[in-house]
């Protein structure tokens, strides 16, 4: 089984019980590495409108295994295992893009 981004997004929505009237959303973009999809969950104002003052802090990152579909909640500051190598997936707003500087 290979889990698509769209499936991973729905898995996280179901996992946390996100409802359409919640202020929290799962956008149509995220990131990935070879093993996981990373599905951002935060306020609409932060993820869509890119307004820093609406960022919800303290929540986990939701990672979905691309093979099993299992959700992993990560609090990166507490993780012993490094999970890196993520790259943008979908139309990630410039506000959230990671840039590498040459030189």
User: What local confidence, expressed as pLDDT, does residue 82 receive?
Assistant: 58
Per the model's pLDDT, the better-predicted residue between 103 and 55 turns out to be 55
Residue 81 DSSP class: S
Q: Where are the domains of the chain?
A: 5-78
User: What local confidence, expressed as pLDDT, does residue 72 receive?
Assistant: 94
Return all residues near 8 (Cβ < 8 A) that are at least 6 apart. 30, 37, 39, 64, 66, 69
Distance between CA atoms of residues 47 and 50, nearest Å: 5
| In contact, 25 and 44? CB cutoff 8 Å | yes
pLDDT-based confidence at residue 76 (cuts at 50, 70, 90): low
Q: Judge whether residue 34 has pLDDT over 70.
A: yes
User: What local confidence, expressed as pLDDT, does residue 102 receive?
Assistant: 47
């Amino acid at each position: 089984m290979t889990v698509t981004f769209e499936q991973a997004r729905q898995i996280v929505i179901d996992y946390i019980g996100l409802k359409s009237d919640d202020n929290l959303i799962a956008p149509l973009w995220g990131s990935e590495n070879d093993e996981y999809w990373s599905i951002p969950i935060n306020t609409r104002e932060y993820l869509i409108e890119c307004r820093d003052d609406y960022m919800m802090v303290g929540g986990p990152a939701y990672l979905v295994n691309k093979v099993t579909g299992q959700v992993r909640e990560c609090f990166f500051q507490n993780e012993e295992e490094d999970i890196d190598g993520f790259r943008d997936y979908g139309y990630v707003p410039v506000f959230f893009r990671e840039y590498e500087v040459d030189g």
